Amino acid sequence: MGRKLAMKNFKKTTIIFFLGVFCHYALFSQSGKSEDVIYLKNKGSIRGKILDKNDNQVRIQTNDGSVWVYALNDIDNIKQEKKFGGYHYKTKSFAHFTELGPLVAGKTTVEGVTTAAFSFQTVNGYKFSQLAFVGAGIGADLYAIQTIIPVFGSFRGDISTTGSVLPFYFADLGYGINITQNSSANTDFKGGLSWAAGLGIKIPFNRNAGFLLSMGYRYQATSYLASGIEKEVSYSRLAIRAGFFL
């Protein structure tokens, strides 16, 4: 009874803490400001504040205080764009996510015993905009008596496109391959439907990569055959993850 109560308190504390962090960054992250961007004919670019422009050249000062001078013949285009918390994020590109963390739940094992579980996953795909990423992922969910390899499609995106910290959403759907070793010739473990959904925050290190935290609901259906009788076991978990994105 004490162990069950402790698990419930742990889950409540974790949820409250994560939601507090999420709301803090979602509401108080700095709004983006405008910056000048010079696009060069050699496909390079430089960002900052244009100090002077004439018929021959352009002088621009970058965020570190450096002043650069470019001839107009070397410039392809000059624009003014929003900068997001000091970083200009790529809008269309390949993207990668690696995440790991605990799967928190109560009595969900075959024997009805409260246990901890651990999950790892990696997702690769294409970001069509900051609002929409589509990719495919694979991972490993380590439960007390079962080991599942989820293979899934992932759809995610940033809820806000400005700020030094970005809140994001995710939704995953796929199939969990059960690789649990059979304990006897009369036992056979099988996988099933797997899906997850939740929210998180991304904290960029630069315009290409950063750290992330997420929390969501994760469901995994499994079954096992024992002495000719098939029994269904489903895992409903609170997934708390930390990781990085590229």
pLDDT of residue 234: 83
In terms of domains, do 18 and 66 share one? no
Q: What's the CATH number where 183 sits? A: 2.40.160.20
In terms of domains, do 238 and 181 share one? yes
In terms of domains, do 26 and 129 share one? yes
Query: How distant, in Å, are the alpha carbons of 67, 83, 189 from that of 49?
Result: 9, 12, 62
For residues 140-157, average pLDDT:
91
Residue-wise pLDDT for 49-68, tens only, equals: 888 888 888 888 887 678 88
In terms of domains, do 130 and 158 share one? yes
In terms of domains, do 122 and 241 share one? yes
pLDDT at 27 over 60: no
Overall number of domains in the chain: 2
In terms of domains, do 39 and 25 share one? no
Strand 33-40 to 75-83 pairing = antiparallel
In terms of domains, do 198 and 120 share one? yes
Beta bridge partners of 69: 59
From 46, 62, 83, the end of a domain falls on: 83
pLDDT at 10 over 60: no
The residue range of the domain holding 140 is: 2-31+89-245
CA angle 236, 7, 181 (to 5 degrees): 50
Strand 132-142 to 57-61 pairing = unpaired
The burial of 122, by beta-carbon neighbours within 10 Å (0-12 exposed, 13-18 middle, 19 or more buried), is given as middle
Residue-wise pLDDT for 180-189, tens only, equals: 877 665 677 8
pLDDT at 172 over 80: yes
In terms of domains, do 42 and 27 share one? no
Is the full-model pTM beyond 0.85? no
How far is residue 167's CA from residue 39's CA, in Å, rounded to a whole number?
29
pLDDT of residue 209: 79
From 83, 117, 144, the end of a domain falls on: 83
From 83, 98, 117, the end of a domain falls on: 83
Residue-wise pLDDT for 41-53, tens only, equals: 887 788 888 888 8
In terms of domains, do 179 and 58 share one? no
pLDDT of residue 233: 82
Contact predicate 114/131, CB 8 Å = no
CA angle 232, 100, 159 (to 5 degrees): 100
Residue-wise pLDDT for 185-223, tens only, equals: 567 788 899 999 999 999 887 667 789 999 999 999 988
Contact predicate 158/132, CB 8 Å = no
Residue 17 binned pLDDT confidence (cut-offs 50, 70, 90): low
The rounded mean pLDDT for the chain is 79
Which of 18-32, 208-222, 226-240 has the highest average model confidence (pLDDT)? 208-222
Query: How distant, in Å, are the alpha carbons of 28, 101, 143, 155, 224 from that of 110?
Result: 44, 22, 11, 31, 10
How far is residue 138's CA from residue 174's CA, in Å, rounded to a whole number?
10
**Higher-pLDDT residue of 105, 233:** 233
Q: What's the CATH number where 52 sits? A: 2.30.30.100
In terms of domains, do 63 and 26 share one? no
| Share in percent of the chain as helix, strand, coil (round to 5) | 10, 60, 25
In terms of domains, do 176 and 77 share one? no
Residue 34: which residues within 8 A CB-CB, separation 6 or more? Answer: 80, 81, 82, 83
